[in-house]
Amino acid sequence: MELDKAIKSRRSVRKFKNKKPDWRDIIECIDVMRYAPMAGGIFSLKFILVDDEIKIKKIAQAAQQDFISEAKYVVVVCSKIARTVNSYEERGYIYCRQQAGAAIQNFLLKTEEVGLSTCWVGHFVEEQIKTALKIPEDVSIEAVFPIGYEFKKPLTKKAKIDLDNLLYFNEYKQKKMKKIRKPEGSRAGVFLEKPSKEEI
């Protein structure tokens, strides 16, 4: 699947078929997270692949989202932040969150490419999941991903956000790119407006 298609077709899925995915496909999706940028080259992420039904139910309870219990596998993404924070102090906490997000996006796009479905779950009682999976206190849980095959494709496409409402130029709320005048004697480029008196 082409990257552009994977980006545009990816969506959150909360209802899965009863069919169990091949765990090797999920490992392939986890593997691409290793290629995300990491501050200082310090890899802070850890991954737990869960297929134990009792543990999956406990994760669903911790997240207060029953659909998770329908999944045959759940991927839990964690950060061990100590080394990054030691290197960058307070900024280290921000970097760990940023790089976790970058790695997770790799994961989401790869799941789309291999034909799997998931949903990024960020709401949960962290201590409950830590207890169920024996996660150490110094490790933070970033997100939970139930994995499966989508039960039924939706009839409606997801709404697109108009780029014009999101993109600014040079400063916040500036909707237009400032026009650049053609340098004197140049034949290259596009002919644009002459500079205003304020620009001279």
Q: How far apart are CA 39 and CA 41, in angstroms?
A: 5
Q: Collect the ranges in the chain with pLDDT lower than 50.
A: 190-200
3-state secondary structure 77-145: EEECCHHHHHHHCHHHHHHHHHHHHHHHHHHHHHHHHCCCEECCECCCCHHHHHHHHCCCCCCEEEEEE
pLDDT attached to residue 8 = 86
pLDDT attached to residue 191 = 42
Q: Among residues 105, 107, 103, which one has the least CA distance to residue 26?
A: 107
pLDDT attached to residue 182 = 60
pLDDT attached to residue 200 = 42
| Interacting residues of 16 by C-beta distance below 8 A, sequence separation 6+ | 67, 70, 71, 72, 117, 146, 148, 149, 150, 151
Domain residue limits, the chain: 3-148
Q: How far apart are CA 67 and CA 79, in angstroms?
A: 25
pLDDT attached to residue 195 = 47
Half-sphere exposure of 129 (CA within 13 A, CB side): 27
pLDDT attached to residue 42 = 96
Cα-Cα-Cα-Cα dihedral of 53, 59, 60, 64, to 10°?
160
- The fold of the 3-148 domain, in CATH, is NADH Oxidase (3.40.109)
Q: In the numeric block, which tokens belong to residue 129?
A: 């999941």
> What pTM, to 2 d.p., does this model score?
0.81
Q: What residues form DSSP beta bridges with 143? A: 77
